[in-house]
Amino acid sequence: MNNGQKKKEIRVWCDGCYDMVHFGHANSLRQAKALGDVLIVGVHTDEEIAKHKGPPVFTQEERYKMVKAIKWVDQVVEGAPYVTTLETLDKYQCDFCVHGDDITVTADGIDTYHLVKEAGKYREVSRTAGVSTTDLVGRMLLLTREHFKGDKEYSVALEHSSNLGTDSTARSPYTGCSQFLPTTQKIIQFSSGLSPKPTDRVVYVAGAFDLFHVGHLDFLAAAHKQGDFLIVGLHTDLEVNRYKGSNYPIMNLHERVLSVLACKYVHEVVIGAPYSVTADLMDHFKVDVVCHGMTQIAPGVNVTDPYLVPKERNCFKILDSGNTMTTEDIVQRIIRHRLEFEERNNKKEKKELAAVKAIAKKSVKQNGDCKITQQEPIKSH
């Protein structure tokens, strides 16, 4: 019995680029946190990423801010080394390092976790299938091509989304490339599970929140300050496409739900929220204040003001978060540097494929050596 003895705190280390932070990153960090008590996350600099992987989409300051806002993260270490060392683990009193089950290599093709693996201080969690930064960059590059631009193709896309149901399909009818398979369990894992207390001031915001970024983050932080309990309404893929057009949304509804739920400022999400904030919605959730950012408000289907009810109730507020970034800005970054990002994606895939082949070759050799050792006594007869 350890009478009066305090249980040792298990400190977990994760590191990475965390470029274009998405629900896949959040899910790996959620799993890592479950392995211990305190989660320390190291984020690499722009210079390190450019050297080993190619140009990042977001700046290091943007990436630091995004990781700090993930609800399972306790501390962020800025400018973490690209190769994880035992010295880094010791410096932050971490018991072990956690990473997804994908391969990460340096510019020279060396496994960035080989040192901690050799020391037995490495744990692996399942990577979230169907999403990666490479995948998201690919989706945005599709926006520069001509599919779904003509009336006929656009009609087919809308018909396809209606047949499958935009609230249930795992594939976006606009980019047509999301392979993420949603489950109720995953939503439960990401959810806070909290309900507002009778005394809480409930804040409601709504939007696409497509390709969750620092502009969204700063707006949600500002909205969170308006009350005690923040509810985010997320519009369906079909609704987002109606008011944004082109191939939007880049991420489908289920992906957007998890991205928003991972944010520490958000308490609850309304999946497939109506575009107009109705009296029924406000009464159901006991909403005290409805907020919107500085971006233009698109009219509803019948050219109505979607915020008419909260305005009539004198509880509508426009918030200036001080950040003007939009999803379109991120897409423009990708399009401006299209060739760089395509080259980055191609190089990354080649390096990872080479690393996988090297590991497989090593495994075959080791297995072969084992077989020879086992067969030697037989040969002596």
Q: Percent of the chain scored above 70 by pLDDT?
A: 73
Q: What is the mean pLDDT of the chain?
A: 82
Collect all residues with Cβ–Cβ distance below 8 Å to 77 and sequence separation of at least 6. 15, 40, 41, 42, 43, 92
Total domains, the chain: 2
Q: What pLDDT sits at residue 246?
A: 79
Does 79 score more than 90 pLDDT? yes
Residues 74 and 194 in one domain: no
- Across residues 323-328, what is the average pLDDT? 93
Segments of the chain assigned E as strands:
11-16, 38-43, 75-78, 96-100, 122-125, 202-207, 229-234, 268-271, 289-292, 316-318
Residue 208 lies in a domain: yes
- CA–CA separation, 223 vs 219, rounded Å? 6
Q: What pLDDT sits at residue 177?
A: 44
The lowest-confidence range among 16-25, 38-47, 180-189, 319-328 is 180-189
The strand pairing partners of 98, in sequence order, are 123
Residue 130 lies in a domain: no
Residues 198 and 285 in one domain: yes
Residue 272 lies in a domain: yes
Q: What pLDDT sits at residue 4?
A: 62
Provide the pLDDT confidence category of residue 305 given band limits of 50, 70 and 90: very high
Residues 193 and 311 in one domain: yes
Q: Report the CATH number that the domain containing residue 286 is assigned in CATH.
A: 3.40.50.620
Query: Residue 49 sits in which domain range?
Result: 11-125
Q: What pLDDT sits at residue 344?
A: 61
- CA–CA separation, 211 vs 270, rounded Å? 18
Q: What pLDDT sits at residue 202?
A: 98
Does 295 score more than 60 pLDDT? yes
pLDDT for 122-176, tens place per residue? 999 987 655 566 666 666 666 644 333 333 333 333 333 333 333 333 344 444 4
Residue 253 lies in a domain: yes
pLDDT for 104-135, tens place per residue? 888 888 899 999 999 999 999 987 655 566 66
- Across residues 330-334, what is the average pLDDT? 84
